[in-house]
């Protein structure tokens, strides 16, 4: 795998084909846990881990799996990996495990994991497959983090609430109160807040992409003129 | 035809091999982590018990003074559970019961309920739940102080009909957006209080068999209900 390939995979995962705001896959956890930064990032990282691992696990066996049963086999492998991650979190990050609750097993049904395996890991060697899973997962985590931050500020008036659940008691004082004496805005915390926030993020991403395209076009038109002059 | 059968068999075998490998990995991970998971849960439970029982209420080693309670419909338990008993100068003072609310929004909510000898709840904490984050999870003390509503709750303070959320005409507050969760918790705490009142002496008894007979009579009454 050369540097160009690596760059393409990373660029695809983090920006161009971002799962959260472009592919719009895996919205179930996106809408459910993005009510605070800590929840959003924790589940995002757990999903990233599962995506990277499943990419790396499925890529080497892709030639041994008969085409007709590839989906059940993929799902089986994803389910095994998710359960391993779940056991590990239950054992070593108990507080966080309690918070994320049912959303960890739900990673199995997150269609983005299967989609990347079908589209990428099932056709590529191990290293690119793992990097693709990692990049896609990190792209999703970034969107979750921004959405979680927006909803937490608007809904609770704080940032990083509940960080102690992930990092232990020492993080208890790390909560940032953005708006003091805030009474909360329930809409942002409830699922509609996730839809509205995600809509804004998609609009923002589209606007940035459009502006970049216009700039590029303006430059390509301007360039010949300057050379002629 | 023969070829088709062979191809099918081969595919089935292939799937079987992956299933066996997957199961083996899971079994290994379970073996590696389950004692650690049990430890984490135990440590968490101890922390919780200290939250529901003020230390001034007992002077014995509450954690070691345990009583195994058989599965009970009133406690919502389907397996044996453990009660921790606190005594002050040898006198029965407080008991910590493991209670399960079976009807949460997303399944069972397991809690501990501490009740003093006079029949007043000293505290309730949720141990594990799967309620929706941001909606029903305010029953978790780490998220919200809602559950401290139960501090001091007894049949002297609240009448039989008061043990409901306000929406249903009771005395317990709840939060907009999630009513099913607090409803389940209030109901479970109330039932646990009834269990305590029915079994007060047996719960504090030093020998265990007395409580087991309660389980039998309960089973018997259930059979009777079934016969009707």
Q: How far apart are CA B35 and CA B162, in angstroms?
A: 42
- Nearest-by-CA chain A residue for B106: A102
Q: B107 and B6, same structural domain?
A: no
Would you say residue A45 lies in a domain? yes
Around Cβ B86, how many Cβ atoms within 10 Å? 26
Q: How far apart are CA B123 and CA B151, in angstroms?
A: 5
Please check the confidence at residue B157 and state whether its pLDDT lies above 90.
Answer: no
Q: How far apart are CA B72 and CA B189, in angstroms?
A: 14
Q: Crossing angle, helix A70-92 and helix A37-61, to 10 degrees?
A: 140
Order of strands, sheet of B81-88, starting from the edge strand that comes earlier in the sequence: B66-69, B81-88, B91-104, B107-116, B121-128
B219 Cβ contact partners less than 8 Å away, ≥ 6 residues apart:
none
Q: B130 and B22, same structural domain?
A: no
Q: How far apart are CA A39 and CA B191, in angstroms?
A: 33
Around Cβ A206, how many Cβ atoms within 10 Å? 12
Q: B61 and B45, same structural domain?
A: no
Structural contact between residues A86 and A42, judged by C-beta atoms closer than 8 angstroms: no
Beta-bridge partners for B126: B111
Q: Which of B47, B133, B174 to mutate to test the interface with A (most CBs of A within 10 A)?
A: B133
Residue B43 belongs to domain spanning: 1-52
Distance from the B228 Cα atom to the nearest Cα atom in chain A, whole angstroms: 40
Per-residue pLDDT of B176-200, as tens digits, reads: 778 899 999 999 999 999 999 999 8
Contacts of B131 in chain A (CB under 8 A): 101
Q: Inspect the interface and report whether the beta carbons of A88 and B26 lie closer than 8 Å.
A: no
Task: Taking the CA atoms of A36, B106, B73 and A98 in sequence, report the sign of the dihedral they define.
Answer: negative
Q: Provide the pLDDT for residue B215.
A: 41
Q: B91 and B132, same structural domain?
A: yes
Q: Inspect the interface and report whether the beta carbons of A186 and B18 lie closer than 8 Å.
A: no
Please check the confidence at residue A83 and state whether its pLDDT lies above 50.
Answer: yes
Closest CA to B101 of B116, B89, B113, B111: B111
Contacts of A73 in chain B (CB under 8 A): 14-15, 18
Please check the confidence at residue B32 and state whether its pLDDT lies above 60.
Answer: yes
Give the angle A134-A119-A44 at the CA atoms, nearest 5°.
Answer: 30
Distance from the B53 Cα atom to the nearest Cα atom in chain A, whole angstroms: 21
- Looking at chain A, the whole-number percentage of residues with pLDDT higher than 90 is 22
Q: How far apart are CA B81 and CA B97, in angstroms?
A: 8
Q: B141 and B187, same structural domain?
A: yes
What does pLDDT average to over chain B?
A: 83
Q: Is A109 an interface residue toward B (CB < 8 Å)?
A: no
Q: Between B11, B19, B44, which is nearest A68 by CB?
A: B11
Tell me which DSSP letter residue A113 carries: H
Residue A7: its H or E element = helix A3-11
Alpha-carbon dihedral angle through residues A174, A178, A180, A181, given to the nearest 10 degrees: -100
- Nearest-by-CA chain B residue for A82: B26
Per-residue pLDDT of B20-31, as tens digits, reads: 999 999 999 999
- Nearest-by-CA chain B residue for A77: B22
Q: B87 and B4, same structural domain?
A: no
Strands B121-128 and B91-104: unpaired
Distance from the B148 Cα atom to the nearest Cα atom in chain A, whole angstroms: 19
Structural domain total, chain B = 2
Q: Which of A30, A54, A82, A102 to mutate to test the interface with B (most CBs of B within 10 A)?
A: A102
Residue, of A100 and B82, whose pLDDT is higher? B82
Please check the confidence at residue B211 and state whether its pLDDT lies above 60.
Answer: no
Q: How far apart are CA B128 and CA B113, in angstroms?
A: 13
Residue A120 belongs to domain spanning: 3-224
* CB within 8 Å of chain B, chain A residues 48-107: 64-66, 68-69, 72-73, 76-77, 79-80, 83-84, 87-88, 90-92, 94-95, 98-103
Around Cβ B213, how many Cβ atoms within 10 Å? 11
Q: Provide the pLDDT for residue A95.
A: 75
Would you say residue A229 lies in a domain? no
Per-residue pLDDT of A137-179, as tens digits, reads: 999 999 999 999 999 888 878 787 777 666 666 666 677 777 7
Retrieve residue B223's tokens.
Answer: 């059979």
Structural contact between residues B108 and B114, judged by C-beta atoms closer than 8 angstroms: no
Count of CA atoms in the C-beta half-sphere (13 A) of B133 = 25
Out of B28, B52, B76, a domain closes at B52
Structural contact between residues A59 and A94, judged by C-beta atoms closer than 8 angstroms: no
Q: Between A39, A84, A95, which is nearest B133 by CB?
A: A39
Residue, of A177 and B73, whose pLDDT is higher? B73
Q: B177 and B204, same structural domain?
A: yes
Q: Inspect the interface and report whether the beta carbons of B37 and A65 lie closer than 8 Å.
A: no
Q: B219 and B167, same structural domain?
A: yes
Q: Crossing angle, helix A70-92 and helix B2-52, to 10 degrees?
A: 20
Q: Inspect the interface and report whether the beta carbons of B30 and A87 lie closer than 8 Å.
A: yes
Structural domain total, chain A = 1
Per-residue pLDDT of A183-225, as tens digits, reads: 777 788 788 888 999 999 999 999 998 998 899 888 887 765 5
Contacts of A171 in chain B (CB under 8 A): none
Q: Inspect the interface and report whether the beta carbons of B128 and A39 lie closer than 8 Å.
A: no
């Amino acid at each position: 795998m050369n540097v160009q390939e690596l760059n393409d995979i990373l660029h695809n995962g983090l920006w161009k084909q971002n799962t959260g705001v472009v592919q719009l896959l895996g919205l179930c956890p996106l809408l459910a846990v993005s009510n605070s930064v800590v929840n959003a990032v924790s589940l995002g990282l757990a999903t990233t881990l599962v995506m990277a691992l499943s990419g790396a696990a499925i890529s080497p066996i892709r030639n041994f799996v008969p085409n007709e049963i590839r989906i059940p086999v993929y799902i089986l492998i994803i389910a095994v990996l998710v359960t391993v991650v779940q056991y590990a979190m239950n054992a070593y990050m108990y507080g966080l495990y309690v918070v994320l609750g049912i959303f960890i097993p739900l990673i199995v049904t997150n269609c983005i994991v299967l989609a990347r395996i079908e589209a990428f890991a099932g056709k590529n060697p191990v290293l690119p497959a793992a990097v693709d899973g990692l990049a896609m997962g990190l792209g999703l985590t970034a969107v979750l983090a921004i959405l979680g931050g927006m909803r937490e500020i608007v809904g609770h008036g704080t940032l990083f609430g509940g960080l102690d659940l992930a990092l232990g008691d020492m993080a208890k004082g790390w909560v940032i109160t953005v708006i003091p004496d805030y009474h909360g805005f329930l809409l942002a915390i409830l699922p509609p807040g996730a839809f509205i926030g995600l809509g804004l993020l998609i609009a923002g991403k589209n606007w940035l992409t459009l502006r970049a395209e216009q700039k590029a076009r303006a430059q390509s038109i301007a360039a010949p003129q300057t050379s002629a002059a | 035809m023969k070829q088709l059968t062979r191809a099918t068999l081969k595919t089935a075998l292939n799937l079987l091999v992956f299933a066996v490998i997957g199961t083996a990995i899971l079994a290994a991970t379970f073996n590696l982590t389950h004692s650690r998971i049990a430890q984490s849960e135990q440590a968490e439970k101890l922390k919780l018990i200290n939250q529901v029982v003020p230390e001034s209420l007992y002077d014995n080693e509450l954690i070691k003074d345990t009583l195994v309670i058989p599965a009970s419909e009133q406690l919502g338990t389907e397996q044996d559970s453990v009660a921790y008993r606190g005594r002050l100068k040898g006198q029965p003072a407080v008991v910590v019961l493991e209670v399960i609310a079976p009807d949460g929004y997303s399944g069972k909510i397991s809690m501990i309920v501490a009740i003093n000898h006079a029949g007043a709840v000293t505290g309730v904490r949720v141990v594990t739940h799967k309620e929706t984050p941001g909606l029903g999870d305010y029953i978790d003390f780490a998220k919200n102080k809602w559950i401290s509503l139960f501090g001091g709750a007894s049949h002297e303070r609240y009448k039989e009909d008061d043990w409901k959320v306000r929406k249903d005409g009771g005395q317990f507050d709840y939060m907009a957006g999630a009513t099913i969760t607090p409803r389940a918790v209030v109901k479970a705490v109330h039932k646990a209080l009834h269990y305590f009142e029915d079994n007060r002496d047996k719960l504090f008894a030093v020998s265990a068999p007395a409580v087991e007979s309660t389980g039998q009579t309960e089973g018997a009454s259930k059979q009777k209900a079934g016969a009707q």
